[in-house]
Amino acid sequence: MNWHWCRFEDLGVHGLYDALALRLRVFVLEQGPYQDADGLDPHAWHLLGRESGGALITYLRVVDPGRRYEEPSIGRVVVAPEARGRALGRALMQEGIARCRAAWPGRGIRISAQARLERFYRSLGFELVGAEYLEDGIPHIEMLRSFP
């Protein structure tokens, strides 16, 4: 897996197209109608995970503190359907957590996670904070990962 971190303005047209196409495949076509363009992409780090052949198969973004939450926030976590079952989601999140720790030492990380993935995020050190809620018709939970 080839990881590439960049800010929005450094994605380039091909990187932006690939990221939006992957997000569209999963968040809109697979999971249902969803307003993906939320205005936060320009205020985030973007992680693109490409196979050796160049195909984008994983993606996430880390939104700057103070934009969505007080803490930095990992979101738009996605693994291409054909690449699932290879522990890429875990590797992707570990990269995201490492970026947050390096960019904002000692700050927690807050996420809005699909409720069905609570166990996965708990295994990465996130704790539930608050009650379940609906976001775009899908049950979600807010979770926080703190650092000592």
The domain ranges of the chain are: 2-145
The per-residue pLDDT for range 41-87, each reduced to its tens digit, is 999 999 999 999 999 999 999 999 999 999 999 999 999 999 999 99
pLDDT at 76: 95
pLDDT at 99: 96
Residue 27's closest CA among 90, 77, 94, 88? 77
The per-residue pLDDT for range 21-36, each reduced to its tens digit, is 999 999 888 887 778 8
Residue 95's closest CA among 112, 115, 109? 109
pLDDT at 46: 98
Do 111 and 139 touch, CB atoms closer than 8 A? Answer: no
Instruction: Tell me which DSSP letter residue 42 carries.
Output: G
Percent of the chain residues past pLDDT 90, beyond the cut:
87
pLDDT at 74: 98
For the chain, the distance separating the N- and C-terminal CA atoms, rounded to the nearest angstrom, is 30
Evaluate whether the domain defined by 2-145 bears CATH number 3.80.10.10.
no
